Amino acid sequence: MTEEKRSLNFIEQIIEEDLANGLETSKLRFRFPPEPNGYLHIGHAASICLNFGLGLKYNAPVNLRFDDTNPTKEEQEYVDAIKKDIQWLGFKWDKELYSSDYFMQLYNWAIKMIKDGKAYVDSQTSEEVARQKGTPTQPGTDSPFRDRTVEENLDLFTKMKNGEFEEGEHILRAKIDMAHTNMLMRDPIMYRILKKSHHRTGSEWNIYPMYDWTHGESDYIEQISHSLCTLEFKHHRELYNWFLDQVYDPEKLRPKQREFARRNISYTVMSKRKLLQLVEEGYVNGWDDPRMPTISGLRRRGYTPGSIVDFSETAGIAKRDNVTDIALLEFHVRQELNKIAPRVMAVLDPVKVVITNYPEDQEEILIAENNPEDENAGSREVPFSRELYIEREDFREQANKKFFRLKLDKEVRLKNAYIIKANSVVKDEEGKILEIHCTYDKDSKSGSGTEASMRKVKGTIHWVSIKHAVKAEVRLYDRLFTDEAPDSYKDVDFKDFINPDSLKINKNTFVEPSLKTAKTGDRFQFQRLGYFNIDDDSTVENLVFNRTVPLRDSWAKMQKKG
Ligand code: ATP
Ligand code: MG
């Protein structure tokens, strides 16, 4: 979508207002802050497109900051995958940074807060701490350790850092107000003891900072002007600001947290925790399974980066939670593939056609246009011979007038080739059709300019020449879940809605010989069937295709119906 076409989203409006109020454009700086505890999904793409989009719009740097404060769940594998996905989407970050780089700075600030009487070591069990939290309508209770002296706090905190205590023995808490109306302000935890090795800092630290304490201070260190996060952090904004107040130097830029609605998409789940369950419990074959809503899954499925960016743009940035129809994503990939994918012929459910008046030893090369949507796409050679495969469902012995494909005694055009007429069938004992015997009109070759070639017949079907065809495997995907919102039920597990037919493997597909040299990542339109790409599992001996999307455009239809 072009800039002129759409109005500013509400985040852009906030930025415009700040600029109008004197913020210099050169001070604008954004960040995308993934936690490296899983692969990026299409929801993250919303945040990526928002932040990097703002960077492009205002010519401002965008940092990639790994929010790596929880060593129990984070791994280098995820860091690498996240970087690869952002690059694939076509975005460039300014600096690659890690919250863990700030552990020492955060620690020093925590010491300062202890000295200022703004933080204390609590030595209760986590159950006791939870009990004292109160409720939204009832104030919490002060911890008996709340009034420890600065010296005692410093001593304990240093020992926590040095690993002299076990996990759970002590925590460091901010000293705010146990009766605060915002429960997040009731002396939130800043540090917990975790004797876990970190993917970057190794065993250097025995204490790890909490998200709320880390995030705003990291924004401040990086001088991020607008820290954009999802709505569930709205109540955290007050705490974000309180933590900033403890370290803020008025000479510096003060980051501003603003919230936007999460991207939810129908018929899938979008939380790394749940996606990890699908991977670990074997419901899918890894994070990049083409049924996954991950960026890597969509890439493997044949989605283009452009279609994901366009989708994010069309779906937009909202203030309130909402669900975007998966059909909108499919619409965008179809739209792009229509422009770029070469057309080829493949038969997924073959039945044999014998053209009885075509000489047995003859074959010929026909010329087929690669893409009518792209005049520079050129053409290719498609061999034709006496025996062909067509789709089983493209033939009926008898059918009503609405069936425009092949039926007995009627004609149909073979795409890029001749008009044929079905005369008889050969069946096995169970009545299954083994062969359809046809005759062809030898003057009707497509594009030959003869009168017969211009003869109008109602239907056109695709085909492959049996002796030239290449056998291939095709993987057909359906939605991974049967319910529109599988994780919206309180007492049903989202995995109960797994679609048992989300993957169909077809090893009896025949494709035209031009596909012999197709490589991983190549994308095609199988005419009349859909868009397909070469899967990572594909080899020269065993071509494997994924169906990215069928041709049918349910989104556009829905829009028309209104
Ligand atoms: P998940 O629940 O899937 O693990 P998360 O929010 O914990 O998501 P992070 O790695 O912390 O994942 O997210 C990085 C950034 O992406 C954050 O700014 C977060 O708000 C944003 N983000 C995550 N999920 C979505 C979503 N569904 N829609 C929009 N932005 C999202
Ligand atoms: Mg998270």
Q: Is residue 34 lining ligand 1, measured as CB closer than 6 Å?
A: yes
Percent of the chain with pLDDT over 70: 97
Whole-number average pLDDT of the chain: 96
What is the spatial order of strands in the sheet that 171-174 belongs to? 119-122, 171-174, 189-193, 207-209
CATH number of 3-260: 3.40.50.620
35 noted as active-site residue: yes
Provide the sign of the torsion angle of the four alpha carbons 58, 64, 69, 74, taken in this order. Answer: positive
Which protein residue's CA is at the shortest distance from atom 23 of ligand 1?
Answer: 44
pLDDT value, residue 350: 98
Among the bound ligands, name the one nearest to the CA of residue 43: 1
Tokens standing for 141?
């209770």
Tokens standing for 397?
């012995």
Q: Is residue 46 lining ligand 1, measured as CB closer than 6 Å?
A: yes
pLDDT value, residue 557: 61
Pairing of strands 523-526, 343-344: parallel
Q: What is the mean pLDDT of residues 8-12?
A: 95
550 burial level (CB within 10 Å; 0-12, 13-18, 19+): middle
pLDDT at 555 over 70: no
Among the bound ligands, name the one nearest to the CA of residue 51: 1
The alpha carbon of 75 and the centre of ligand 2 are apart by a number of angstroms equal to: 14
User: Rounded to whole angstroms, how far apart are CA atoms 263 and 322?
Assistant: 7
Show Cβ contacts of residue 428 under 8 Å, excluding neighbours closer than 6 positions.
Answer: 434
Q: Which of 161, 237, 272, 291 is catalytic?
A: 272
Q: Is residue 272 lining ligand 1, measured as CB closer than 6 Å?
A: yes
Name the residue among 226, 181, 213, 281 with its Cα closest to residue 10: 226
Q: What is the mean pLDDT of residues 185-196?
A: 98
What is the H or E stretch that residue 126 is in? helix 126-131
Q: What are the boundaries of each domain within the chain?
A: 3-260, 272-338+472-513+531-561, 346-462
Show Cβ contacts of residue 196 under 8 Å, excluding neighbours closer than 6 positions.
Answer: 71, 72, 208
pLDDT band at 154 (very low <50, low <70, confident <90, very high): very high
Please give the CATH architecture assigned to the domain spanning 272-338+472-513+531-561.
Answer: Orthogonal Bundle (1.10)
Q: Is residue 236 lining ligand 1, measured as CB closer than 6 Å?
A: no
Compute CA distances 305 → 270, 334, 477, 526, whole Å: 19, 13, 20, 21
The alpha carbon of 35 and the centre of ligand 2 are apart by a number of angstroms equal to: 6
Q: Could you tell which of 30, 31, 47, 236 is best to mutate to test the pocket of ligand 1, judged by most ligand atoms within 8 Å of the CB?
A: 47
Q: Per-residue pLDDT tens for 414-467?
A: 999 999 999 999 999 999 999 999 999 999 999 999 999 999 999 999 999 999
Q: Per-residue pLDDT tens for 201-225?
A: 999 999 999 999 999 999 999 999 9
pLDDT band at 562 (very low <50, low <70, confident <90, very high): very low
What is the H or E stretch that residue 376 is in? none
pLDDT value, residue 239: 98
Q: What is the mean pLDDT of residues 506-531?
A: 96
Q: Per-residue pLDDT tens for 36-79?
A: 999 999 999 999 999 999 999 999 999 999 999 999 998 999 99
Backbone dihedral angles phi then psi of residue 51, each to the nearest 5 degrees:
-65, -50
The alpha carbon of 541 and the centre of ligand 1 are apart by a number of angstroms equal to: 41
- Write down the pTM of the prediction: 0.94
Q: Per-residue pLDDT tens for 238-295?
A: 999 999 999 999 999 999 999 999 999 999 999 999 999 999 999 999 999 999 999 9
The alpha carbon of 272 and the centre of ligand 2 are apart by a number of angstroms equal to: 8
Tokens standing for 249?
């130097």
Q: Is residue 300 lining ligand 1, measured as CB closer than 6 Å?
A: no
CATH number of 346-462: 2.40.240.10
User: Rounded to whole angstroms, how far apart are CA atoms 48 and 58?
Assistant: 15
Q: Is residue 170 lining ligand 1, measured as CB closer than 6 Å?
A: no
Q: What is the mean pLDDT of residues 141-152?
A: 98
What is the H or E stretch that residue 145 is in? none
pLDDT at 8 over 90: yes
The alpha carbon of 290 and the centre of ligand 2 are apart by a number of angstroms equal to: 23
Among the bound ligands, name the one nearest to the CA of residue 52: 1
User: Rounded to whole angstroms, how far apart are CA atoms 516 and 134?
Assistant: 68
Buried b (16+ CB within 10 A) or exposed e, 46-80: bbbbbbbbbbeebebbbbbbbbbbbbeebeeebbe
pLDDT band at 558 (very low <50, low <70, confident <90, very high): low
Which protein residue's CA is at the shortest distance from atom 27 of ligand 1?
Answer: 43
Buried b (16+ CB within 10 A) or exposed e, 262-281: bbbbbbbbbebebbeebbee
User: Rounded to whole angstroms, how far apart are CA atoms 548 and 302?
Assistant: 5
Q: What is the mean pLDDT of residues 482-496?
A: 95
The alpha carbon of 62 and the centre of ligand 1 are apart by a number of angstroms equal to: 17
Q: Could you tell which of 32, 42, 44 is best to mutate to test the pocket of ligand 1, judged by most ligand atoms within 8 Å of the CB?
A: 44
Q: Which of 35, 75, 238, 369 is catalytic?
A: 35
272 noted as active-site residue: yes
Q: What is the mean pLDDT of residues 476-497?
A: 95
Among the bound ligands, name the one nearest to the CA of residue 34: 1
User: Rounded to whole angstroms, how far apart are CA atoms 166 and 284?
Assistant: 38
